[in-house]
C-alpha cells in the first residue's frame, strides 16, 4: 500500500514539475520577447518565437463569454480527471501495458492546469511560440493538452479495447473440459 501512495505522489510531483516548466517558459518568454513583434526564428525546426497574450479562453474561440468562469470550470474538470486517473493507476495491475499510458495522462493533466490557473490569476494565457503552418501561438500547456487528447486518449481507448489494461501473458484459469487436453466431442 505504501508503494502505491509513493507512486501516486510521484505522479503528482511530475505533474507539478510540468506545470512549473510551463510557468517558467512563459516567464522567460515575457522577459525575452517583445509583445506583438515579428516572429523570431528558433533553432528548433518549424518553430518561431512570438509573444502573445490570449485574452479569450482559446485562440480559436476568441474572447467568448465569461472566460474566467470557463477557465474555472475547466480547472475543476481537469483536476477531477487527473484525480480519477491517479485513482485508476492504483486499481490497475502494475504489469498491465495500459497502466503506463494512464500514469502519463495523469501527470500531463496536472501540468495542463497551468493555463486555467494563469487565466484566473492574470486574465490571459501567455503564448510564446508558433508552429509553421498554424496561425496561432501556443505554449507548453497547450502541448500537454494536445498530447493527452489527440495521442494518448486514442492509444488508451485502443489498449482498453484490446484488453491491455490487464497483465499480458497471464493465462486465465481454465474450466474443466477446456484447453488443449480437453476430451474431443
pLDDT digits (tens, 9 = 90+) for 159-174: 999 999 888 665 455 5
Backbone angles phi, psi at 52, to 5 degrees: -150, 160
For a pLDDT cut of 70, what percent of the chain falls above it? 84
In this predicted structure, the answer to whether residue 108 has a pLDDT above a threshold of 80 is yes
φ/ψ bin of 177: left (φ > 0), alpha (ψ from -120 to 50), beta (otherwise) = left
**What confidence score (pLDDT) does residue 51 get?**
95
Residue 20: predicted pLDDT: 98
pLDDT given at position 112: 93
Specify the range with the lowest mean pLDDT, choosing from 4-8, 94-98, 102-106, 170-174.
170-174
Q: What is the mean pLDDT of residues 100-122?
A: 94
Residue 12, pLDDT > 60, answer yes
Q: For the chain, give the mean pLDDT.
A: 87
pLDDT band with cut points at 50, 70 and 90 for residue 86 = very high
Do the beta carbons of residue 129 and residue 42 sit within 8 Å? yes
Q: Looking at per-residue confidence, does 84 or 57 come out higher?
A: 84
Helix or strand run (H / E) with residue 157: helix 153-161
- Say if residues 71 and 116 touch (Cβ distance below 8 Å): yes
- Mean pLDDT to the nearest integer, 141-164: 94
For residue 15, pLDDT over 70 is answered with yes
pLDDT confidence tier of residue 118, bands split at 50, 70 and 90: very high
pTM higher than the cut 0.85: no
> Could you read off the pLDDT of 47-82 as tens digits, one per residue?
999 999 987 655 555 556 677 888 888 899 999 999
pLDDT at 21 over 90: yes
The span from the CA of 104 to the CA of 17, in Å, is 13
Q: Which long-range contacts (CB under 8 A, 24 or more apart) does 85-93 make?
A: 85/109, 86/8, 86/11, 86/12, 89/7, 89/8, 89/11, 90/4, 90/7, 90/8, 92/165, 93/166, 93/167
Amino acid at each position: 500500500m505504501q508503494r502505491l501512495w509513493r507512486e501516486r505522489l510521484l505522479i503528482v510531483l511530475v505533474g507539478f514539475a510540468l506545470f512549473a516548466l510551463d510557468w517558467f517558459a512563459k516567464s522567460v518568454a515575457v522577459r525575452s520577447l517583445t509583445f506583438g513583434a515579428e516572429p523570431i526564428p528558433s533553432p528548433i525546426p518549424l518553430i518561431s518565437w512570438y509573444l502573445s497574450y490570449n485574452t479569450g479562453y482559446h485562440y480559436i474561440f476568441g474572447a467568448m463569454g465569461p472566460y474566467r468562469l470557463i477557465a474555472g470550470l475547466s480547472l475543476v474538470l481537469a483536476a477531477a480527471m487527473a484525480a480519477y486517473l491517479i485513482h485508476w493507476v492504483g486499481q490497475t495491475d502494475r504489469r498491465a501495458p495500459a497502466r503506463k499510458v494512464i500514469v502519463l495522462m495523469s501527470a500531463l493533466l496536472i501540468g495542463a492546469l497551468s493555463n486555467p490557473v494563469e487565466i484566473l490569476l492574470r486574465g490571459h494565457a501567455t503564448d510564446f511560440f508558433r508552429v509553421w503552418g498554424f496561425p496561432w501561438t501556443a505554449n507548453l500547456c497547450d502541448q500537454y493538452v494536445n498530447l493527452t487528447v489527440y495521442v494518448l486518449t486514442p492509444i488508451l481507448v485502443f489498449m482498453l479495447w484490446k484488453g491491455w489494461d490487464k497483465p499480458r501473458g497471464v493465462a486465465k484459469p481454465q474450466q474443466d473440459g477446456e484447453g488443449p487436453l480437453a476430451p474431443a466431442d
